[in-house]
Amino acid sequence: LQAHLKYKNATSEEHWEETDKYILKAVSGKDAFRNEVFAKLISDIKSGKINTVLCTALDRISRSVKDFLNFFEILHEYNVEFVCLKQNYDTTTPQGKLFITIMMALAQFEREQTSDRNKEASLARAERGLWNGGQIFG
């Protein structure tokens, strides 16, 4: 992200200034919007502190189509630009909005499929009498 800011400032008439970082550590993409970090981000957007949200990839924001589209509506309502480094879609066009929605649907599908596989694997281990929990101490 730092490299992108430097590049943008060097090649554009606009100057981007980093105001804050909103880092989600060890948070599921399914539950990202139910987190104090996102609550602060939304609050800062609504207060006018932020005019651009920059992320590395769409699925780092969320893996829920509904949550992402609600977030995207807030960005639109407060005239906040959305920039994604890996998927560079023009979100001001109908095509760009379509692509983002499709990418979010794929991210949600991947999350749900991974969850199903993990449940099946845990059930299979339990049926064989194997431990499904974390490492045992003591």
Question: Which DSSP symbol is given to 17?
Answer: -
Burial of 98 (0-12, 13-18, 19+ CB in 10 A): exposed
In a domain, 134, yes or no: no
> Does pTM surpass 0.85?
no
Rounded CA-CA distance 97/69 in Å is 10
pLDDT for the residue 82 = 85
Rounded CA-CA distance 18/71 in Å is 20
Nearest CA to 132 among 121, 122, 120, 124? 122
Q: Which domain holds residue 65?
A: 2-126
CATH of the domain at 57: 3.40.50
Per the structure, the count of domains in the chain is: 1
pLDDT for the residue 47 = 95
Tens-digit pLDDT profile for the chain (138 aa)? 556 555 555 445 566 666 777 776 655 555 556 678 888 999 999 999 998 888 888 887 888 889 889 999 999 999 998 888 787 777 778 888 888 889 889 988 998 899 899 999 889 988 998 888 877 776
Nearest CA to 83 among 72, 74, 94? 72
In a domain, 25, yes or no: yes
63 and 29 Cβ atoms separated by less than 8 Å: yes
In a domain, 49, yes or no: yes
In a domain, 136, yes or no: no
